[in-house]
Amino acid sequence: MKDLTVGKESKLILQFATPMLLGNVFQQMYNIVDSIIIGQFIGKEALAAVGASFPLLFTLISLVIGFATGATILVAQYFGAKKMEKVKRTIDTLYIVLFVASVIISLLGWYYSEAIFRLIQLPEDVIPYASLYFKIYILGLVFFFGFNGTSAILRGLGDSKTPLYFMMVSTVTNIILDYVFVAHFHWGIAGVAYATIISQGGAFITAILYLNKYHDVVKLSLLRITFDRKIFKQSLRIGLPSGFQQSIVAIGLLALVWIVNLFGTDVIAAYSIAMRIDSLAAMAAMNFAAALATFVGQNLGANKPERVKAGLIATLKITSLIAVSISLVALIFSSNLMSLFTTDENVIRIGSEYLVIVGAFYILFSVLFAFNGVMRGAGDTLVPMFITLIALWVIRIPAAYFLSRHFGVTGIWWATPIGWFIGMTLSYLYYLTGRWKKKSIVKYDSEGNIIS
């Protein structure tokens, strides 16, 4: 556990975010290795299927991710205020909710996935692959929620290194099983899904066994686990706006997939690959924003609001430098990156065009997430939800549709940076108001005494 309320802000955030970033690089390796093996050993229809499955999965789990975000903010603020009993009760409540949610979402996904794929007009030659992959994948949703929930809890406590170690082992396992199941056992796209389930399950079980033995706070005991209604309600209050925001994004991605699907299998496959590369580029911004949220949560919980601005400036400097560097790589090596996944020249051409257009604007995404990280750390998740709603549904999706009518698939790509720019501008303007400071769960009176 790491106390983020003392020490140089830039050093603390960099040290805290780096293991998170490395962990997410390994986590994204799941998807990237899946896509490379699918593209090289199965074909572009299966590649398109995996790409189409992600927005649907994201849609189903988004509210739960939001609740977990709310619980993590509570963990960070209670830890900053040294209320350890509250920390333990928050952790127990989160685990109970994640387990129940995984069962419900798995059942919904199993029965309705194929109908949704047809609703978004996924080509018929892709649907059998997408349905098979998705149904197998969600069988392991309890492991996905469990491991990611555990990682989020540890980050709230200031520990970003432990999740990294388990993710490294999980990723190596996934890569080996991917190759064995697909290249040697010839299980096709089902083998990729099974490899992911086994890897995530192993990571979660190993993490729990380790933490129960060595960690002072994170201990999962089925006999002593406690559900706290008050903490559940507080997590909902903070987390639901974030969950709805995730839902807005997820359904928006489905809407974008629907627009992309109108252009055929090659464009779907290219979009699927480009999104994998996109996710790597976005990880620095997302992880430093998550680190900043924990930093803000702990410092507001410790009644040190003056450190928040310094933390934000440090984060903006770091993520902007990373974003510019990644943009240069995307612009110069777009074709080379695409060719890692497929040998189809048309798919490579379409995906390269996406990377050149969207990749030039990664800095907008980085700045947007930094401001949102401050708001989330303070417990203000409602305004970022509305900003996301405007940027995605009012700007990006309509722009993608109308521009694609006039400029073809290129119009869809240009809609992305347009949406990012609007979201960044609105987030910055709200940050300047300072209203987010009043949303902290742990409150102090004028003399510095805790009153809630």
- Which has more confidence, 188 or 157? 188
Q: Are 381 and 238 in contact (CB under 8 A)?
A: yes
pLDDT computed for residue 415 by the predictor: 95
In angstroms and rounded to an integer, the radius of gyration of the C-alpha atoms of the chain is 21
Instruction: Count the helices and strands in the chain (H runs, E runs).
Output: 16, 0
Cα dihedral across residues 246, 247, 251, 257: positive or negative = positive
Q: Which residues pair with 361 in a beta bridge?
A: none
SS3 assignment for 144-188:
HHHHHHHHHHHHHCCCCCHHHHHHHHHHHHHHHHHHHHHHHCCCC
Q: According to the per-residue pLDDT averaged within each range, which of 34-38, 184-188, 222-226, 362-366 is highest?
A: 362-366
CA atoms within 13 A on the CB side of 302: 18
Q: How far apart, in Å, are the Cα atoms of 202 and each of 20, 169, 217?
A: 19, 9, 22
CB neighbourhood size of 125 (10 A): 13
> 214-231 burial, b if ≥16 CB within 10 A, otherwise e?
ebebbbbeeeeeeebeeb
pLDDT computed for residue 447 by the predictor: 59
pLDDT, tens digit, 9 for 90 and up, residues 241-300 = 777 777 777 788 778 888 998 888 889 888 888 887 887 778 889 889 988 988 888 888
pLDDT confidence bin for 55, thresholds 50/70/90: confident
pLDDT, tens digit, 9 for 90 and up, residues 99-131 = 998 899 889 888 888 888 888 778 888 888 888
Identify residue 304 by its one-letter amino acid code.
Answer: K
Phi (first) and psi of residue 450, to 5 degrees: -70, 130
pLDDT confidence bin for 380, thresholds 50/70/90: confident
Question: How far, in Å, CA of 150 to CA of 211, rounded?
Answer: 10
**398 Cβ contact partners less than 8 Å away, ≥ 6 residues apart:** none
pLDDT computed for residue 316 by the predictor: 95
Q: Return the axis-axis angle of helices 362-378 and 409-433, rounded to nearest 10°.
A: 40
- Which has more confidence, 43 or 98? 98
The CA-based diameter of the chain, rounded to the nearest angstrom, is: 68
Question: How far, in Å, CA of 435 to CA of 432, rounded?
Answer: 8
Would you state the structure tokens that stand for residue 80, as one six-digit string? 């900053």
Residue 2 has pLDDT above 70, yes or no: no
Q: Return the axis-axis angle of helices 189-214 and 9-41, rounded to nearest 10°.
A: 150
Query: What residue has token string 């993608």?
Result: 400
Question: How far, in Å, CA of 382 to CA of 212, rounded?
Answer: 35
- Which has more confidence, 424 or 250? 424
pLDDT computed for residue 366 by the predictor: 94
pLDDT confidence bin for 451, thresholds 50/70/90: low
pLDDT computed for residue 171 by the predictor: 85
Q: How long is the chain?
A: 452
Question: How far, in Å, CA of 16 to CA of 159, rounded?
Answer: 8
